[in-house]
Homo-oligomer: A and B are copies of this chain.
Amino acid sequence: MYLILVYDIQTDDEDGARVARTVFKTCKAYLNHIQKSVFEGELSKVQYLELKNKLFDILRKEKDSCIIFKSRNEKWLDKEFLVEESIDKTSNFI
């Protein structure tokens, strides 16, 4: 299945920066990074459940948010960059 994952981490508190880095690295292990907190890619059901469980353990209930859009087929979705994004600018976490 094809996924678009978008997250929003509250970083104005003590462990916010650490949570954001961990969420970024976890997503990057499964999906392609296309914009600051936006990932996309094709995952099997098993990989998808794995990623979800890992993110459940990191994300903080009342502070962070994460939305996943799933489509059975990438062909059913067109993607348009309104303003060109220089891709290296998006990989700011090592």
Interface range on chain A: under 10, 10 to 19, 20 to 34, or 35 or more?
A: 35 or more
From residue A31, how far is it (CB to closest CB) to chain B in Å?
A: 14
| Binary flags per residue of A78-94, CB closer than 8 Å to B gives 1, else 0 | 11111111100000000
> Do A80 and B67 form a contact, CB below 8 Å, given A6-B35, A8-B36?
yes
A61 touches B84 (CB 8 A): yes
List residues of chain B with CB within 8 A of the CB of A4: 4, 69
Q: State which of B8, B71, B82 has its C-beta within 8 Å of the C-beta of A66.
A: B82
> Do A69 and B78 form a contact, CB below 8 Å, given A8-B35, A83-B59?
yes
Chain A residues with CB under 8 Å of chain B are 4, 6, 8, 34-38, 52, 55-56, 59-62, 64-73, 76-86
Across the A-B interface, the 3 shortest Cβ-Cβ residue pairs: A66-B82, A65-B85, A8-B36
